[in-house]
Amino acid sequence: MSGTLQRRLVSKNGHNNVKIDNVEGMVKLYLHDIWTTVVDIKWRYKLTLFVCTFLGTWFIFGVLFYLIAMSNGDLGQTPESNHTPCVMNVGTLTGAYLFSLESQTTIGYGFRHISEECPLAIFTLVVQLVFTGLAEIFVTAAFLAKLARPKKRAETVIFSQSAVICWHRGQTCLMVRVANMRKSLLIQCQVSGKLLAPYVTQEGEKILLHQEPVDFRLDSSQECPFLLLPLTFYHVLDENSPLASLTEENLNSRDFELVVTLNATMESTASTCQSRTSYLPQEFRWGYDFKPLVFSTPGGRYITDFDHFDEVEKRNEPLLLQNVEMIKLQMEEEYRKE
């Protein structure tokens, strides 16, 4: 794979790189789930929708009031006449628009108002207040939902730019580093992975992205109670691992993508969030380990220096020699026990 561009399913910042194309009735599908569509759209479109909702309803009902005034013969009447208009002091479309705006925003200057002798105008006002009230609730709720989306919280969780493979706890391990950039805790954190690689079945079927689970652990469990300090999660490259055949020699020639996902619960809101990243073979560092980034101070506090977050250091001995030496020590220990 060296010298060629390898595509990603998931970008480094967690966004998916899948383009959906040639879907019949896409607009209809989006309109059926209008709530999710409005929440997912970009902020510039959401602000446009917010402004158009108010301007549109003001203008539409202003036109209706103007038509009611026209049908009732209110236009062109002199103040001295005995004719009672449907809407007082509305003689132009601009006046009708201002009356619609004042009614919907409950400004109510008192200069323009509905008379008691025009039921149609009263009914139109009631419909306007009910309809625009529902529209305002929908648009406002969509704003709050987008602001409170766990996706924004997930953006404050970062992964190391590279993954390292080294000797850890007597085994060859693949390790990634994860950190929470906020002081508010993430609880019940769990890191999992998916290995995406081309695969050919026994029947000869070619699968472009075959998925295999990659389990990550922290010390002796797959979950950590909370993410306070930057933590290093590791995956053991044993015979059960989908990366068991990975070596330093064939690393750069392999074709795969490792997608790493962090699922956690926000302590402040109790809602769940998910953060993702991915690693290509050229982003693996064989025989390296992460540099320490947590230090203690004389005052009894801990400091996390994120200048060292992505820094790695070479192990003193090659990984292969470490593996052989550890195996020898284990065999000697078993021999003594016998």
245 shares a domain with 142 = no
Q: Please report whether residue 275 resides in a domain.
A: yes
157 shares a domain with 105 = no
End-of-domain residue from the set 96, 128, 147? 147
126 shares a domain with 49 = yes
Which residues on adjacent β-strands are paired with residue 207? 199
161 shares a domain with 124 = no
Q: What's the structural domain count of the chain?
A: 2
271 shares a domain with 193 = yes
Burial 47-86 (b: 16+ CB within 10 A, else e): eebeeebbeebbeebbebbbebbeebebeeeeeeeeeebb
Asked whether the CA dihedral 104, 106, 108, 113 is positive or negative, the reply is positive
Q: Please report whether residue 198 resides in a domain.
A: yes
Query: Cα torsion for 77, 81, 82, 87, to the nearest 10°?
Result: 30
Q: Which CATH number goes with the domain that contains 250?
A: 2.60.40.1400
Calculate the alpha carbon distances from 258 to 176, 226, 246, 277, 312 in Å: 11, 24, 13, 8, 19
| Cα 251 off chain centre by | 31
245 shares a domain with 312 = yes
187 shares a domain with 140 = no
- Rounded to whole angstroms, how far apart are CA atoms 86 and 90? 9
Q: Please report whether residue 229 resides in a domain.
A: yes
292 shares a domain with 156 = yes
Could you tell me the maximum CA-CA distance found in the chain, to the nearest angstrom? 119
Q: Which CATH number goes with the domain that contains 110?
A: 1.10.287.70
127 shares a domain with 41 = yes
Q: Range of 283's domain? A: 152-337
- pLDDT tens per residue, the chain (338 residues)? 444 557 788 888 888 888 777 777 777 888 888 888 888 888 898 889 889 999 999 999 999 999 998 888 878 766 656 778 888 888 889 989 999 998 888 877 678 888 888 889 999 999 999 999 999 899 888 888 887 776 777 788 899 999 999 888 788 899 999 998 888 888 888 899 999 988 888 788 888 888 999 999 887 566 677 788 888 999 999 888 999 888 888 888 888 999 999 988 888 777 888 899 999 999 999 989 998 888 888 888 888 888 889 989 887 555 444 454 455 555 556 555 55
pTM beyond cutoff 0.75: no
Instruction: Indicate the DSSP class of residue 217.
Output: B
306 shares a domain with 234 = yes
End-to-end alpha carbon distance in the chain: 48
315 shares a domain with 210 = yes
Q: Please report whether residue 15 resides in a domain.
A: no
End-of-domain residue from the set 112, 147, 182? 147
